[in-house]
Amino acid sequence: MSEETGGAPAGAERLESFPTVSMVGAGSVFSIVFGLVFVGAGAAIALIGAGVISVEEESIHAPRWLIGLAGMIFALPGLAMSASGVAGTLREARMKRLMPLHVDEPWQWDHRWDERGGRNRASSLVGAFGFSAIVTLFAVMIDYFLVAKTGDLMSKIFLGLFAVLLSLGALAAWSYFVYVVLRRLKYRDAELLWDHFPLHLGEDVSLRFRVPAALRSVASAEVILRCVQEIYETRETSDGSTTTVVCFGLHESRRTIEGSDLAGGEVTLGFTLPMAGDGDARPTALASRPAVFWDLEVVAEAPGIDYHGHFLLPVYS
């Protein structure tokens, strides 16, 4: 699995808040080891809080339940980092095993495709829950120190403002998690099917969008087919530098689905894919880091929670 950085593609549109495929550093042994260090430290702190690991009482300056929470704050991000590293390492091992057997068939090793179709990949429930839990645990710790500890007025005011901000952040995080859960439940039967596998650049393709029941009474839906290239973008900050994954659109094609078509429960979408080398359109490379992929976005305004779906497409040369 190659990993590289690069500048923004010339003339490509920057896609803000677009769901990425890559994660910075995911898949390396370093990610696994570094994450396990945090898991080990967090587990040790939590065991001290639970009384399993004995320490001198004079060295404990907080309730044991609070020490347990501090351990979880260390352990949860480390567990997520290690899990991401393990998943990436297994993906790379699978690619190396299958690539020599399917040199001219990259779809066999590039990604675990369902040859029949795909489902919405937008909004990770696990990610939303994990972030909400960590922010909440941190907010509880700060709230405790605000109430239990004494200090000068300015320290109390500063700690109080920080506690309010964290509590509001926790509330916002849990609100988003509930929103994601409700959206998943409302549109759980959405599915995208392709007429053959894989799809190839330069050919006409027919995609069938199985419309979820909650979307069959809306006025219309917008469909956007994109070829997307990710890049690693490094930004300098006051604390050093941070690297994030940014998406750019290399090719785009739009369709509007009318309400009368949505009411039927299934809509056929026809697209002509560009030829290989035509403009900036490129074949799928999901195993690469950063990745190149084809995405079908479906957006519709609906009563209550709007629909927003993203489907990966197996487009190869």
Is residue 65 exposed (0-12), middle (13-18) or buried (19+ Cβ within 10 Å)? Answer: exposed
Ranges 62-66, 74-78, 123-127, 224-228: which has the least confidence:
123-127
> What pTM did the predictor assign?
0.83
Whole-number pLDDT of residue 2: 44
In this structure, what DSSP letter does residue 288 have? S
Q: Are residues 170 and 201 in the same domain?
A: no
Q: Is the pLDDT of residue 4 over 70?
A: no
Give the closest residue to 223 by CA, choosing from 159, 308, 302, 128.
308
CA distance 280 to 288: 17
* Number of domains comprising the chain: 2
Write down which residue in 185, 209, 235 finishes a domain. 185
Q: Is the pLDDT of residue 98 over 50?
A: yes
Write down which residue in 185, 209, 229 finishes a domain. 185
Q: Are residues 253 and 155 in the same domain?
A: no
Mean of the per-residue pLDDT values of the chain: 88
Query: Which residues lie below 8 Å from residue 265, measured CB to CB, with a gap of 6+?
Result: 210, 211, 216
Overall average pLDDT of the 3-10 stretch:
61
Q: Are residues 302 and 174 in the same domain?
A: no
Query: Would you place residue 270 in the very low, low, confident or very high pLDDT band (cuts 50, 70, 90)?
Result: very high
Query: Would you place residue 141 in the very low, low, confident or very high pLDDT band (cuts 50, 70, 90)?
Result: confident
pLDDT in tens, 27-76: 578 888 989 999 999 999 999 988 898 888 888 877 888 889 889 988 99
Q: Are residues 36 and 175 in the same domain?
A: yes
Q: Are residues 160 and 92 in the same domain?
A: yes
Q: Are residues 209 and 295 in the same domain?
A: yes
Range(s) of the domain holding residue 290: 13-21+189-316
Overall average pLDDT of the 86-94 stretch:
87
Q: How many CA atoms lie within 13 A of 221 on its CB side?
A: 30
With respect to residue 46, please indicate whether it lies within any of the assigned structural domains: yes
Q: Are residues 157 and 223 in the same domain?
A: no
Residue holding tokens 């593609």? 9
Overall average pLDDT of the 176-193 stretch:
93
Count other Cβ atoms within 10 Å, centred on residue 237.
7
Q: Are residues 198 and 130 in the same domain?
A: no
Whole-number pLDDT of residue 203: 95
Cα 136 to Cα 40, 145, 278, distances in angstroms: 21, 15, 49
Helix (H) or strand (E) holding 181: helix 153-186
